[in-house]
Amino acid sequence: MEEEIKIDWSRFSVSIPLKQTEAEIKKAWSSQQELEKWLLKKSEFTSEEGKKKKE
């Protein structure tokens, strides 16, 4: 019997060519609206205390 492989999805990396400045990329990765525009269907940001941040 094969051993089940467990994947840790808490971290991952993606390499894609982008024609954007580093500042534009950082802004997109730190904004719920931008993440949902080109990567995720829905994103929710929370504080360190676990409280949901406003969009």
Per-residue pLDDT of the chain (55 residues; tens, 9 = 90+): 678 889 888 998 888 888 989 998 888 888 878 887 777 788 888 888 888 877 6
Contact criterion met (CB below 8 Å) for 42 and 36 = yes
Q: Report in angstroms the alpha-carbon separations of 18 from 2, 6, 23, 29, 37.
A: 40, 31, 12, 13, 15
**Model-wide pTM > 0.75:** no
